[in-house]
Chain A
Amino acid sequence: GNSVTQMEGPVTLSEEAFLTINCTYTATGYPSLFWYVQYPGEGLQLLLKATKADDKGSNKGFEATYRKETTSFHLEKGSVQVSDSAVYFCALSDPNSKLTFGKGITLSVRP
């Protein structure tokens, strides 16, 4: 079956540091890949997505590239802000649109 593996957390960074959050997946066929963000006390929001190999999703300074050869979709940001503190979930979608989520990782950014 489908699965998503995220790096262990939590992650604590200083403001303006570079961020990488690793995500790898196992799936049959050609899934779509997503990053969701959950701010404290809120529901999940779609951050970015990529629907085919070599696509790059981007939003709010975050980027992730769909790498089929390494089955990865790592999230990056060049300079994090305190307001980026949240829980980040990697997910994949099968053709029937059911999402499989990773366990999430908590990011804390210090001023």
Chain B
Amino acid sequence: NAGVTQTPKFQVLKTGQSMTLQCAQDMNHNSMYWYRQDPGMGLRLIYYSASEGTTDKGEVPNGYNVSRLNKREFSLRLESAAPSQTSVYFCASSPGQGKLGYTFGSGTRLTVV
């Protein structure tokens, strides 16, 4: 099925470890996004890529880096994981026009111990 694919679905890290969350979309969308979801906080934008070759900080970028590898793929990297980064991470994509909304992946549940 067409859509947004995230890997892995679950991950447990120790404090200080690094990891990369992968995201790929097959809808030829221009824009891609990374959000984190925490209880009582809703969704908060970490980074986004309006088009291939560009990335910008969102609301909560500290402790994260991103790479827009090509039009399909947008990865999120935690260089030195902290317990405060325990969260559910969602990747999303959109054609880049405001009226069309986003398509979301199914999420990565990350626990940092």
Contact = CB atoms under 8 A, between A and B. Distances in A.
Nearest to A48: B101
Given A32-B99, A97-B94, A103 B104 contact: no
Interface residues of A, number: 24
Contact of A93 (B42, B98, B105): B98
- Residue among B41, B94, B104, B105 facing the most chain A CB atoms (10 A cut-off): B104
Given A32-B99, A95-B98, A43 B43 contact: no
B37 to A, nearest CB: 8
Contact of B90 (A43, A51, A95): A43
Interface in A87-105: 89, 91, 93-99, 101-104
A45 B42 CA distance: 15
A103 B40 contact: yes
Interface string A36-80: 100000111110010100000000000000000000000000000
A46 B101 contact: yes
Contacts, number: 58
A100 to B, nearest CB: 9
B99 A89 contact: no
Contacts of B42: 89, 101-104
A9 to B, nearest CB: 10
B106 A97 contact: no
Contacts of B100: 97
Nearest to B58: A98
B78 interface: no
Contacts of A103: 40-42
A98 B94 CA distance: 9
Interface of A: 31-32, 34, 36, 42-46, 49, 51, 89, 91, 93-99, 101-104
Enumerate the 9 nearest inter-chain pairs by beta-carbon distance, A residue then B residue, closest first.
Answer: A103-B42, A43-B104, A93-B98, A44-B104, A97-B98, A43-B106, A51-B99, A101-B43, A32-B99
